[in-house]
Amino acid sequence: MTYCVGLKLDCGLVFMSDTRTNAGVDNISTFRKMFLFEAPQERCITLMTAGNLATTQAVVSLLEERGKAPENRSPSIFRAKSMFGVAKLIGETLREVIESHSTSGQQADSSFHATMIVGGQIAGGEPRLFLIYPEGNFIEASEDTPFFQIGETKYGRPILVRVYDPNMSFEAAVKLLTLSFDSTIKANLSVNLPLDVHCYENDSLTEGRVFRLHAEDPYFQTISAGWGVALNNAFSELPDFSFEN
């Protein structure tokens, strides 16, 4: 399992992903799940993956190889004319990989399934964010749905729903996502640090702030401990239930 979040703000896009993969409690590994495709001043695209590791690695490898191929050889993430075209290409590649592993056509509910979040900007277009399903189809973030989650989503969602504000800064967004991931990590052993982060600023068309939060990172430790204290304090300040009333 994994946990990834893509967040759309007025100032840009924020991505965060964990790095834990597991095939049972005795087979746990660390793998990067966030990938950047950049042509400075022309496009900057971030892809995050969840699901079967062999499937997601195959999709990323195909995207990278086809990106290096001559222009007339195959569609490429570096030649797509829009972010819609990028999402369509990634969806088709994901469907292709799943079908190649299936014994009788595509099986979205099979052990080879995967979901992905892709976001970014291409020169001449607006920053856009998409959620791609195992079947290859996708939906786009909007004012009504300003963020996407994949993987183990339920534990980290409540804080996002309550606190998200499109006007928030990158710094506030990183704090919010850190809380969301901390709640998920506390509740599910299949999600864990390090956490990869990318903050893309609108119209920059180049890689933004990219960094990794480790378990021993002072900021993460402060947020994790402080959130626990804050929750306990808030709980204590709420009125007690009364059976008589």
Instruction: Using pLDDT thresholds of 50, 70 and 90, give the confidence band for residue 245.
Output: confident
pLDDT in tens, 90-141: 999 999 999 988 765 544 446 789 999 999 999 999 999 999 999 999 999 9
Query: Which amino acid would we find at residue 97?
Result: V
pLDDT in tens, 189-207: 899 999 999 999 999 999 9
Q: Are the C-beta atoms of residues 14 and 81 closer than 8 Å to each other?
A: no
Average pLDDT, the chain: 93
Q: What is the pTM of this model?
A: 0.94
The pLDDT of 68-88, averaged and rounded, is 90
pLDDT at 103: 60
Please give the share of the chain, as a percent, with pLDDT higher than 90: 86
Q: Are the C-beta atoms of residues 214 and 19 closer than 8 Å to each other?
A: no
pLDDT at 110: 61
pLDDT in tens, 23-33: 566 678 899 99
CA–CA gap between residue 199 and residue 49 (Å, rounded): 17
Query: Which amino acid would we find at residue 164?
Result: Y
pLDDT in tens, 140-182: 999 999 999 999 999 999 999 999 999 999 999 999 999 999 9
Please give the share of the chain, as a percent, with pLDDT higher than 70: 95
pLDDT in tens, 222-232: 999 999 999 99
pLDDT at 69: 85
156: left (phi over 0), alpha (psi -120 to 50) or beta: alpha
